[in-house]
Amino acid sequence: MSDTESNGTEAASVTVGYIGLGNMGAPMAKRLLDWPGGLVVCDARAEAVEPFSTKGARAAASPAEVASAATVISVTVLDDAQVRAVVAGPDGILSTARPGTVIAVHSTISDTTAVELAATCESAGVHLIDAPISGGAMGAQQGRLAIMVGGTDEAFAAVREPFGRFAELVVHAGGVGAGTRMKLARNLLHFISFTAATEAQRLAEAADLDIRELGKVVRHTDAITGGAGAIMLRETTARLDEADPWFSILAHARNLGEKDLSLALDLGDRLGVDLPLALRAITGLGPGLGVGPGSISTAFAQEHA
């Protein structure tokens, strides 16, 4: 038997626990119901546990009871305070966890909380990893989540197979806290993009356009181009040398972007629509891409100095 096969067999024999069966946790845990090593579930609401126990999962009354049976435990609760209680409270996981147990926190919490709890767990021989998720309720229902893991190589190896049940992409971001930092960067883009979408809608509405039809176009073309993620391919954000192969590609993107942004700003001026994000983008796009400002943004900055 190869090392890969051996590791897979060993992982499959482990009992998995799941604490927190809400909108995200329930569909994730559902995909572990047929886990070969068995599933133990826990939630403060009996009605959330019942669908799992009727399908063969063991119901636990507390996080401590989960840890008495499981050595890989996922936690999807509301916030830092609940995570602390589940992990290190009086009836928490650490009160019964065996050395080598891996606690995976899927909740989006502070990276400092993750680091602090990991240190507490380490003193008991237990691994805590921060493993926030991206993809929303739809991704959880479809088993298509992305999970960003912060933790040791050993802990990552222990969770890789069970995580594969509910995630299409599992990334080892680095040490404890790195998963949360990656999630925060990802969601920074997400919600700034939402804000940009509201700005685009205001411009479209002022131009007497159907913003629902605009939404159809955005979703269609982003599915083709990859949206903002399409430019996230370099290893660094540093300024590019003009001899770098990426320079011409990203300079082309800058030139197209500056042209379209200047046209949108002109339309906004004529319609009396304030476009603060577009103003920020026309001067920030080129430097952000690592190729510096183009001729259009340079002229724009001089004109508005």
pLDDT in tens, 142-188: 999 999 999 999 999 999 999 999 999 999 999 999 999 999 999 99
- How many residues comprise the chain? 305
Give residue limits of the domains in the chain: 3-182, 238-305
Which fold does the domain 3-182 belong to in CATH?
A: Rossmann fold (3.40.50)
Give CA–CA dist 67/88, Å, rounded: 12
Question: What's the average model confidence in pLDDT over 224-241?
Answer: 93
| Interval 248-263: pLDDT, tens | 999 999 999 999 999 9
Tokens of 197: 């979408």
Contact between residue 103 and residue 128 where contact means Cβ atoms under 8 Å apart: yes
* Active-site residue, 183 included: yes
Q: How confident is the model at residue 301 (pLDDT cuts 50, 70, 90)?
A: confident
Task: Please report the pLDDT score of residue 2 as a whole number.
Answer: 45
Q: How confident is the model at residue 13 (pLDDT cuts 50, 70, 90)?
A: confident
Task: Please report the pLDDT score of residue 208 as a whole number.
Answer: 98
pLDDT of 218 over the 70 cut: yes
pLDDT of 9 over the 90 cut: no
pLDDT of 217 over the 90 cut: yes
Task: Please report the pLDDT score of residue 283 as a whole number.
Answer: 94
pLDDT of 193 over the 50 cut: yes
CATH number attached to the domain at 238-305: 1.10.1040.10
Q: How confident is the model at residue 305 (pLDDT cuts 50, 70, 90)?
A: confident
What does pTM read for this prediction? Answer: 0.88
Contact between residue 218 and residue 197 where contact means Cβ atoms under 8 Å apart: yes
Q: Which of 55, 183, 216, 259 is catalytic?
A: 183
Give CA–CA dist 11/76, Å, rounded: 21
Give CA–CA dist 237/240, Å, rounded: 8
